[in-house]
């Protein structure tokens, strides 16, 4: 179990937020500031990401145990809401199924419990690993180098949030890239459980995203989360919270307050 880096703001009922693959707690900072007027918001860096420790293994079971350690450390009450996006959403599901008594409800953003082939990350991983920091003096050069592998500017900007300068002024990745590269296939694993999570669960999907499909809505999600609702934000892709923050803010706020 690793001691995770986190940032806390606001007061009231706790809302814990977990980012996705290659993300950091900063990805949710804008929404966290809004929610902090209503709740005690705790943004978390998952293992091998952001400023949290690096480790040789990267699985949902281990990430869920890291989160349990954070709940223990902060002595979070049983009325805590746990929210996760993508990889963080699967961590939230795993945690809720393993420790249903620790949360009041969960929010899962644009991910389903089913197995997913992780080949869609191949270009990203290739681009991240291909970046030769010896020839990089600034972020624009890093962006230009990534563009050979990743065409979408918004995806590159998201990934470049992981870039930082070391004490000798050279650039490096904050993420544990070797471990994430080696373990990415495991992040596609199906989330299963002996018993379902009976408390409320809100699934938010992007209408332009294929991460949650009709079969997930009809069967996959209700099988594990029978007290769930699936809400679609029509004009959003996978990064729903970045593309449609106000809609996500309103959905989550109403759900937590219900």
How confident is the model over 94-152, as pLDDT tens digits?
A: 999 999 999 999 999 999 999 998 988 999 999 999 999 988 989 999 999 999 999 99
Residue 196 shares a structural domain with residue 92:
yes
Identified catalytic residue from 52, 86, 209, 228: 86
58 and 183 in contact (C-beta within 8 Å)?
yes
- Angstrom distance (rounded) from CA 232 to CA 15: 21
Listed residues 141, 175, 209: the one ending a domain: 175
Q: Would 1 be classed as within a structural domain?
A: no
Total structural domains within the chain:
2
Closest to 98 (Cα-Cα) out of 193, 186, 16, 187:
193
17 and 106 in contact (C-beta within 8 Å)?
no
162 and 175 in contact (C-beta within 8 Å)?
yes
128 and 150 in contact (C-beta within 8 Å)?
no
Q: Would 23 be classed as within a structural domain?
A: yes
Identified catalytic residue from 58, 85, 238, 241: 238
Is residue 204 predicted with pLDDT exceeding 90? yes
Residue 35 shares a structural domain with residue 94:
yes
Give the residue numbers spanning the domain of 101: 6-116+185-257
CATH number of the structural domain spanning residue 200: 3.40.50.1820
Torsion of CA 38, 100, 191, 205, to 10 degrees: -30
Q: pLDDT tens, 37-93?
A: 999 999 999 999 999 999 999 999 999 999 999 999 999 999 999 999 999 999 999
Q: pLDDT tens, 12-43?
A: 999 999 999 999 999 999 999 999 999 999 99
Q: Where are the beta strands (DSSP E) in 45-193?
A: 81-85, 105-109, 163-165, 171-173
Is 116 known to be catalytic?
A: no
Q: Would 150 be classed as within a structural domain?
A: yes
Is 228 known to be catalytic?
A: no
Whole-prediction pTM: 0.96
Residue 94 shares a structural domain with residue 137:
no
Residue 130 shares a structural domain with residue 25:
no
């Amino acid at each position: 179990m690793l001691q995770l880096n986190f940032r806390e703001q606001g007061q009231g009922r706790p809302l814990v937020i977990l980012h996705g693959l290659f993300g950091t707690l900063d990805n949710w900072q804008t929404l966290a500031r809004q929610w902090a007027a209503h709740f005690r918001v705790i943004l978390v860096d998952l293992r091998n990401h952001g400023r949290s420790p690096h480790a040789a293994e990267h699985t949902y079971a281990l990430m869920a145990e890291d989160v349990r350690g954070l709940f223990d450390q902060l002595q979070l009450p049983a009325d805590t809401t746990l929210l996760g996006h993508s990889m963080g959403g699967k961590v939230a599901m795993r945690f809720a199924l393993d420790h249903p008594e620790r949360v009041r409800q969960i929010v899962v953003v644009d991910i389903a419990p089913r197995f997913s082939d992780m080949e869609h990350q191949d270009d990203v991983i290739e681009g991240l690993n291909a970046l030769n920091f010896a020839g990089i003096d600034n972020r624009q050069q890093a962006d230009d180098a990534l563009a050979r592998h990743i065409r979408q500017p918004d995806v590159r900007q998201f990934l470049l949030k992981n870039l930082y300068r070391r004490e000798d002024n050279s650039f490096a990745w904050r993420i544990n890239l070797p471990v994430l590269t080696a373990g990415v296939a495991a992040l596609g694993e199906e989330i299963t459980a002996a018993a379902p999570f009976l408390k409320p669960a809100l699934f938010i999907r992007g209408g332009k995203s294929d991460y949650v499909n009709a079969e997930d809505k009809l069967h996959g999600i209700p099988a594990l989360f029978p007290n769930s609702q699936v809400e679609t934000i029509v004009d959003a892709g996978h990064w729903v919270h970045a593309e449609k923050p106000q809609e996500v803010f309103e959905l989550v706020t109403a759900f937590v307050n219900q």
